[in-house]
């Protein structure tokens, strides 16, 4: 089985990289972009039957830093 973990900076945490991307888009003429948040996607190739609780634990222990990031698990 496969799962995708989406990790994003929490709302309220400044994302300077997202801001830089927004400025670059504006420079290309995409003036309508009001905000950009940049995150990451982690693809996991898992043993069949791995529980969502186990994936949660992976997120809490390593994949996301919950002080600054939120995560969303997508089991494929």
Partner 1 sequence: MRAAVLVFPGSNCDRDLATAFRAAGFETEMVWHKETSLPDRVDLVGVPGGFSYGDYLRCGAIAANSPICRALKDHAERGGFVFGPCNGFQILAETGLLPGALLRNAGLKYICRTVGLKVATTDSVFTGAYAEGEEIQIPIAHHDGNYFADADTLDRLEGEDRVAFRYSDNPNGSARDIAGILSENRRVLGMMPHPERAADAGHGGTDGQRLFAHLTEALATA
C-alpha of 2 from chain center: 17
The span of 24-32, 47-55, 60-68 binding partner 1 (CB under 8 A) equals 60-68
Given candidates 11, 35, 49, 67, which one binds partner 1 under the rule CB under 8 A?
67
Q: How far is CA 13 from CA 27, 63, 64, in A?
A: 24, 18, 14
Choice between 46 and 49, CB closer to partner 1? 46
Residue 29 tokens, joined:
């003429």
Based on the shown chain and the rule CB under 8 A, indicate whether residue 51 belongs to the binding site for partner 1.
no
Residue 23 tokens, joined:
């400025």
Q: Specify whether the CB–CB gap between 5 and 72 falls below 8 A.
A: yes
The span of 29-37, 48-56, 63-71 binding partner 1 (CB under 8 A) equals 63-71
In angstroms, what is the minimal distance from the CB of 48 to partner 1?
Answer: 25
């Amino acid at each position: 089985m496969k799962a995708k973990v989406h990790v994003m900076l929490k709302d309220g945490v400044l994302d300077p990289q997202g801001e830089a991307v927004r400025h670059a888009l504006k420079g290309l003429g995409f003036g309508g972009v009001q905000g950009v948040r940049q995150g990451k996607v982690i693809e996991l190739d898992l043993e069949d039957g791995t529980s969502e609780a186990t994936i949660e634990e992976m997120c809490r222990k390593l994949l996301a830093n919950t002080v600054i990031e939120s995560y969303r698990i997508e089991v494929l």
